[in-house]
C-alpha cells in the first residue's frame, strides 16, 4: 500500500498549504525512540522541534509508557463532573509542589487553546461577579500567539494565523511588546532596564479600568519567531496589573516544564500570575491535556449557592482524563528523579556555544537568541540594517526541505530556524543537527 497516497486521499493536515504536499508528500512515521523518528522506509529524522514543542522526555519513554499501560487497565475515562479519580488528585498534589506561589485550584481541559479560552472566561466572570462590571476587554502583547480558537486568536497577534478572521475576532487592546533584536531604544536584552515597558504603562493608563486580564507568553514569544525578552518585563507587568486590578494570565503552554531553564518561565521573574495555562510538556507530549490553574481568591468568587448563578459552567468531555493524568504524573516523577532540568541547563551552555560558533559568522544571520535549550537563528537580508528577506522566497521552508533529506526535522517560523529539542537531547545529536542545519542554510543562501 502507498501510505502517502492514502494519506492525501483523506487527511487535511494542520497548519499546511496542502498544495505543498504535491512536491513534499507527508512522511509516514512508523515508530520513534528518544529524539528519533523512523518512517516506513526506515529513514531516521532527528526531532529537534519536539513534535510542536510538546515532547519533553523523548519519544516512547519507557517510564511514561509503563504508567499509561498500567492506567488503561484500571480506568480509561470517567465524567469529571461530580466524579473524580485518584490519578487527577495525585497530579494536582504533585503540581502544587512546583507551581509558583498562590496557584492552587485546577480546572482541566484537553488542549492549550481551550485552557486560554477558559482563563479568559474565568477572568471576565470573576470581575462581573465582584462588582467590576466595566471590565470587559483583554490586553495582549504585539506578536502574541495564544492558540487557534476564536478567543485565543483574538488575543493573538500573528497575522499569519488571524488576518482572515479579523472581522469575527474580539476587540483586544494591544500592548506594543519588547523587540530585543530590533530594539527602538538601541539597547540589548542584556543591558536594558526594559525601557520599552513605557508602552505598557501608557496602555494601562488608558485602558486599565476596562480590562479584565493581560495575557502574556512569559519570556518567550514562540510563534513570533522565538523572541526572547528579559524577566524584568514580567516583574514590571505584575506590578502594573496589581495597580489596575487586572488579572495576569501566564500562557506557559510552550514555556513551562523546563523549556526556559526553570520549571516555569515566571520563576525567572520571582513573581506569580493570577492564572496559568499549562499543556504541551504537561504530559510529555503523550496525551492531549491542559490545565488552567488559578488562585483561591479567584475560585472563591464562583463559590455560592447554585441558584445564585455564579458557577463556572465551562466543561470539556475529556477533562481530567485518567490516561493523560497518569502520563503527567510520571513526567513530574522523571523530572525530579532524574534531575532533568538541571542537566538540561548544563547541556544548554554547550548547545548555545556551538550554535553561536557555527551560525553567527554567516553573513545572513542577524541574531542567535536562546533561552534554556531553545535556540533561534534569524536570517536577514542585510546584517547591518536587519532588513528581512522577502517572505515570498520562503527561505526557511527551503532549508526545512533540505534538512529533511539529511535526517533532521526543522520546522521554521518564517525565516527563523530554531531548535527546541526534548530535554534529554545528547551532545552528539546537538553536533549533528547543527551541522546539518548550517549546511542546508548555507546551500539555500548561496543559491540566491
Strands 220-221 and 227-228: antiparallel
The answer to whether 270 and 236 are in contact (CB under 8 A) is: no
The answer to whether 175 and 141 are in contact (CB under 8 A) is: yes
Cell of residue 406, nine digits: 539529511
The Cα 416–Cα 226 span in angstroms is 8
- Collapsing DSSP states into helix, strand and coil, what is residue 192? coil
Mean pLDDT of 141-155: 96
> At residue 205, what are phi and psi to the nearest 5 degrees?
-60, -35
Q: What whole-number percentage of the chain has pLDDT above 70?
A: 100
CA 88 from chain centre, in angstroms, equals: 23
Output the average pLDDT for the chain.
97
- Collapsing DSSP states into helix, strand and coil, what is residue 278? strand
Q: What is the pLDDT of residues 216-245, one digit of tens each?
A: 999 999 999 999 999 999 999 999 999 999
Extents of the domains making up the chain: 3-60+341-446, 65-337
CATH of 65-337, one of 3.40.50.460, 3.40.640.10, 3.40.50.300, 3.40.50.11540: 3.40.640.10
Q: Sign of the CA dihedral 109, 296, 302, 243?
A: negative
User: In this structure, which long-range contacts are made by residues 239-244, counting pairs with CB atoms below 8 Å and at least 24 apart in sequence?
Assistant: 240/200, 240/201, 240/204, 240/208, 241/214, 241/274, 243/204, 243/208, 244/204, 244/208, 244/209, 244/211
Mean pLDDT of 340-352: 98
Q: What is the pLDDT of residues 2-44, one digit of tens each?
A: 999 999 999 999 999 999 999 999 999 999 999 999 999 999 9
> What's the pLDDT at 159?
87
**Maximum CA extent, the chain:** 69
Task: Tell which residue, 372, 350, 361, has the closest CA to residue 418.
Answer: 372
Q: Which CA distances in Å does 208 have to 211, 216, 241, 312, 317? A: 5, 16, 8, 24, 35
Architecture of domain 3-60+341-446: Alpha-Beta Complex (3.90)
The Cα 248–Cα 219 span in angstroms is 14
The answer to whether 42 and 413 are in contact (CB under 8 A) is: no
Does the pLDDT at position 201 exceed 90? yes
Alpha helices by DSSP H, 97-230? 112-128, 150-155, 159-162, 198-207
The Cα 172–Cα 141 span in angstroms is 10
* Burial track 307-333 (b if 16+ CB lie within 10 A, e otherwise): eeebebeeebebbbbbbbbbbbbbbbe
Neighbours of 30 (CB within 10 A): 11
Mean pLDDT of 339-346: 98
The Cα 275–Cα 121 span in angstroms is 11
Cell of residue 125, nine digits: 466572570
- Please name the residue that has the C-alpha cell 539597547: 187
> What's the pLDDT at 160?
86
Model confidence, pTM: 0.97
Confidence of residue 339 (pLDDT cuts 50, 70, 90): very high
> What's the pLDDT at 193?
97
In the chain, DSSP finds a helix count (H) and a strand count (E) of 14, 16
Confidence of residue 215 (pLDDT cuts 50, 70, 90): very high
374-379 β-sheet, strand order: 365-371, 374-379, 416-419
> What's the pLDDT at 331?
98
The Cα 296–Cα 22 span in angstroms is 53
Task: Tell which residue, 238, 247, 220, has the closest CA to residue 369.
Answer: 220
Neighbours of 63 (CB within 10 A): 15
> What's the pLDDT at 357?
98
Amino acid at each position: 500500500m502507498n501510505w502517502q497516497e492514502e494519506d492525501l486521499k483523506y487527511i487535511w493536515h494542520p497548519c499546511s498549504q496542502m498544495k505543498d504536499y504535491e512536491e513534499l508528500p507527508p512522511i509516514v512515521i512508523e515508530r520513534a525512540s528518544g529524539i528519533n523518528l523512523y518512517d516506513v522506509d526506515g529513514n531516521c529524522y532527528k526531532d529537534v522541534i519536539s513534535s510542536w514543542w510538546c515532547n519533553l522526555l523523548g519519544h516512547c519513554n519507557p517510564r511514561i509508557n509503563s504508567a499509561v499501560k498500567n492506567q488503561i487497565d484500571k480506568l480509561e475515562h470517567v465524567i469529571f463532573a461530580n466524579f473524580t479519580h485518584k490519578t487527577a488528585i495525585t497530579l494536582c498534589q504533585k503540581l502544587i509542589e512546583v507551581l509558583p506561589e498562590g496557584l492552587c485550584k485546577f480546572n482541566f481541559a484537553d488542549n492549550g487553546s481551550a485552557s486560554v479560552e477558559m482563563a479568559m472566561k474565568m477572568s471576565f466572570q470573576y470581575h462581573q461577579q465582584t462588582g467590576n462590571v466595566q471590565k470587559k476587554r483583554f490586553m495582549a502583547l504585539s506578536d502574541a500567539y495564544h492558540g487557534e480558537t476564536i478567543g485565543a486568536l483574538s488575543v493573538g497577534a500573528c497575522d499569519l494565523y488571524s488576518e482572515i478572521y479579523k472581522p469575527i475576532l474580539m476587540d483586544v487592546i494591544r500592548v506594543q511588546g519588547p523587540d530585543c533584536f530590533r530594539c527602538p531604544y538601541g539597547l540589548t536584552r542584556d543591558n536594558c532596564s526594559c525601557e520599552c515597558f513605557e508602552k505598557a504603562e501608557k496602555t494601562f493608563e488608558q485602558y486599565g479600568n476596562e480590562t479584565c486580564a493581560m495575557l502574556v507568553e512569559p519570556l518567550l514569544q514562540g510563534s513570533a519567531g522565538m523572541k526572547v525578552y528579559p524577566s524584568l518585563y514580567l516583574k514590571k507587568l505584575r506590578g502594573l496589573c496589581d495597580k489596575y486590578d487586572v488579572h495576569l494570565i501566564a500562557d506557559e503552554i510552550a514555556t513551562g516544564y523546563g523549556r526556559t531553564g526553570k520549571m516555569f518561565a515566571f520563576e525567572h521573574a520571582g513573581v506569580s500570575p493570577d492564572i496559568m495555562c499549562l499543556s504541551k510538556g504537561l504530559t510529555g507530549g503523550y496525551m492531549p491535556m491542559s490545565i488552567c490553574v488559578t488562585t483561591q481568591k479567584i475560585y472563591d468568587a464562583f463559590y455560592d449557592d447554585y441558584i445564585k448563578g455564579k458557577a463556572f459552567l465551562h466543561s470539556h468531555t475529556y477533562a481530567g482524563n485518567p490516561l493523560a493524568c497518569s502520563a503527567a504524573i510520571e513526567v513530574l516523577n522523571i523530572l525530579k528523579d532524574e534531575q532533568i532540568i538541571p542537566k538540561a541547563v548544563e547541556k544548554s551552555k554547550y548547545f548555545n556555544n556551538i550554535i553561536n560558533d557555527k551560525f553567527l559568522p554567516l553573513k545572513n544571520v542577524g541574531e542567535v537568541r536562546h533561552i534554556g535549550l531553545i535556540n533561534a537563528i534569524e536570517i536577514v537580508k542585510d546584517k547591518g540594517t536587519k532588513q528581512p528577506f522577502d517572505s515570498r522566497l520562503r527561505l526557511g521552508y527551503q532549508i526545512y526541505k533540505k534538512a529533511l533529506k539529511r535526517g533532521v526535522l526543522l520546522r521554521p517560523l518564517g525565516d527563523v530556524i530554531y531548535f527546541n529539542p526534548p530535554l534529554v537531547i545528547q551532545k552528539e545529536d546537538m553536533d549533528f543537527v547543527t551541522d546539518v542545519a548550517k549546511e542546508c542554510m548555507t546551500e539555500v543562501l548561496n543559491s540566491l
